[in-house]
Every structure is written in structure tokens, then in C-alpha cells.
A and B are shown apart, each in its own frame.
Chain A
Amino acid sequence: MLVRNTRFGDLDVSEEQIITFPKGMIGFERVERYVLVNPTDKISWLQAVDDASLAFPLVQAPLVYPGYSLYVENELLEPLGEVDEAMMGIYLVLVVPGDPRNATVNLKAPVVISLKSRRGMQLLIDRPEYSVRHRIMPAEKGA
């Protein structure tokens, strides 16, 4: 099937490549079907199948926050179906402004994708050390 979108040109994807978010993304609860664009790159995109302009840039958590941990009970991961840790990706949503050096990630709301069940969900982790706007590059001194 063809996934139309405003960023990458039409994407030809098979049904098996679709990742279902049964609860959507927070604030976008009704959008359930996504594809992961550039999954092996440092930054991939979670592109909505049914909304051409809706896409979230994601970065693998360990790349920007070594030792990042979910701190959740296994019961909370039930929407993902059968969970195989080796086939589970933990991503952080990136906010990339015009100057990418000021990019931030949201440590309180990671996106977890099970490649085995092709399901994903956005978790909420309310820990004081996790900022919703964590800079991934140090602020430049004097700038």
C-alpha cells in the first residue's frame, strides 16, 4: 500500500510493516497506524499511515541518554502483546527547532515499539530526573 506523506515522497509499504498504536500517541489518541521510516538511522520517523503531515522524529534512547530506563511494571506493557526484549525498541520523541543544536527529547514520554507484535505505545514516566525538554547537546557557552 502507498503511504502518502508530506516529507519523504510516497512510501510503498506492506501490511506487515505497519505498527499499530492501540492508544495512539498522547494528544493524538485517534491515530493508530504508523510506519517507521529510516528505522536503522540514528533518527527515524514515526509516520502516520492515514495522515500525510503527521510524523514524529524519534531517536533511540541510549543514543542520547545512556542508561535510560523505563521504570515500569510489566503489566503496563500489555498493550504491546507478547514482549521480547531483544525485539523491543525504546525511542524518545525529538523536538527539533530551526537550530538543531537546541533539539530536545522528552524523557518522560518514551515510545516503545515491539517489532515482534508490530505494536507500539507511548508511556508516561513521571520521575523528577526526567525532563520533558532534555537538551541532547550542551548549550554553547556565551551564546
Chain B
Amino acid sequence: MLVLARKVDESLMIGDDVEVKILSIDGDTVRIGVQAPRSVVILRGELYAQVAEENRSATGAASDDVDRLSSML
């Protein structure tokens, strides 16, 4: 992993069209601005893990329970 030290108002480039800028630092919270083309998805890293976990839970469904739910909709 590449590690860089940056100060407030400094930025870094990822490729030639994604700019990540440090806006402010307050205790352990860093505000970051990202400028990127509209086709680039920007998400909090923990969202992937959360969704993968929900997907895993979804695959555990029993067809009987799903049939019962279907009849309630």
C-alpha cells in the first residue's frame, strides 16, 4: 500500500482524472473531497462489507418461509 502524508488543502491524484483533497482535520475525523468523472463510483469502504453480509444472510432463506412471505404481500 502506498502511504503519503498530506496537509489540509493538499491533494493527490489517482490516475489523471481523480483528485482526492484533504479539506479539514478535526480530532480523528478527516473530511475528504473527491473530484472524479461521473462514471467513477465513490463509496465508504465499510458499505461493501455490510452489503456482502446482507447478501450472505439472503442466501440462507428457506423456500417455505419465502412462500409464506409471498402470500402476505
Chain A residues contacting B43 (CB-CB under 8 Å) are 124, 126
B interface residues, how many (CB within 8 angstroms): 28
Complex CA distance for A7 and B41, rounded to whole angstroms: 35
Chain B residues contacting A133 (CB-CB under 8 Å) are 54
- The verdict on A3 contacting chain B, using a C-beta distance below 8 Å, is no
Beta-carbon contact of B41 and A124 below 8 Å: yes
Contact residue range for chain A?
A: 35 or more
* Shortest distance between the CB of B58 and any CB in chain A (Å): 5
A84-128 interface code vs B (CB 8 A; 1 in, 0 out): 000000000111111011010010110000000000001010100
- The verdict on A76 contacting chain B, using a C-beta distance below 8 Å, is yes
B53, closest chain A residue (CB):
A27
What secondary structure prevails in chain B residues at the interface with A? helix
Beta-carbon contact of B69 and A103 below 8 Å: yes
- The verdict on A83 contacting chain B, using a C-beta distance below 8 Å, is no
Complex CA distance for A31 and B61, rounded to whole angstroms: 18
Apart from A55-B59, A96-B66, list 13 A-B contacts with CB within 8 A.
A7-B63, A28-B52, A43-B73, A57-B61, A73-B38, A76-B41, A93-B55, A100-B66, A100-B69, A101-B72, A109-B51, A109-B55, A132-B50
Chain B positions near chain A (C-beta within 8 angstroms): 37-39, 41, 43-44, 47-48, 50-59, 61-63, 65-66, 68-70, 72-73
Chain A positions near chain B (C-beta within 8 angstroms): 7-8, 25-28, 41-43, 45, 53-57, 59, 63-64, 73, 75-76, 78, 93-98, 100-101, 103, 106, 108-109, 122, 124, 126, 132-133, 136-137
19 residue pairs bridging A and B, Cβ less than 8 Å apart: A26-B51, A27-B48, A42-B73, A43-B69, A43-B73, A56-B59, A73-B38, A75-B38, A76-B39, A76-B41, A93-B55, A95-B58, A96-B62, A96-B65, A96-B66, A106-B51, A124-B41, A124-B47, A126-B43
